[in-house]
Amino acid sequence: MRLLAFMASFFMLSSIGSAEVHVVGAYDMTFKPEIIQVSVGDTIRWEYVSGTPHTVSSGDSCRWDGGFFGVVSIVEPVYEWVVPEDAPAVIPYFCAPHCINGMVGTILVDRPCNEDRDGNGSVDGEDLLLVLAGWGDDDPSGDVDGNGIVDGEDLLLVLGAWGPCS
Ligand SMILES: [Cu+2]
């Protein structure tokens, strides 16, 4: 009986604790893969492969937004970051010295409340604005259903999920 209870709790724990590790290689002037799909609680592990030292800097348009920051080089080949609960749906990042050469990457975060694009805990006007700002474009911030275009379906998803994420 006690063994059964132990086994039951073991299986429950193992189904909850299914955090994954995603490896991204830092090559001369490229992150590979450039786009990764992750879940909250997953670890992203950047590994130095080649070239001069690289940074892993959170932010868009080669500008650090104050989020994660790490360096990978021959000396320190690994940087890891765990995706937090309040992560937005789309997290752009770049390598500071090589951003001008196009060394950028994108983290797409799968969350139960996927319509909450900015990750502030509720589906609201800001998320609606992200959809409207990306309208007709492939901007991942507004592409709620991830079909490659921001359109009426994304708008309906945001309106349909309006309110706090439970
Ligand atoms: Cu670099």
Which residues, 6 or more positions from 97, have their beta carbon under 8 angstroms from its beta carbon?
52, 53, 54, 55
The string of pLDDT tens digits covering residues 54-63 is: 999 999 999 9
**CATH architecture, domain 112-166:** Orthogonal Bundle (1.10)
- Please state, in angstroms and rounded to a whole number, the distance separating the CA atoms of residues 73 and 19: 26
Please state which of the four CATH numbers 2.60.40.3080, 3.10.20.70, 1.10.10.60, 2.60.40.420 is assigned to the domain occupying 18-111: 2.60.40.420
- Give per-residue pLDDT as tens, 22-37: 999 999 999 999 999 9
**Is the pTM of the predicted complex or chain greater than 0.85?**
no
The rounded Å distance from CA 71 to ligand 1 centre is: 9
**53 Cα to the center of ligand 1, angstroms:** 6
Mean pLDDT score across all residues of the chain: 90
More confident residue, 15 or 153: 153
40, 48, 58, 69, 155 from 66: Cα distances, Å: 19, 22, 7, 8, 29
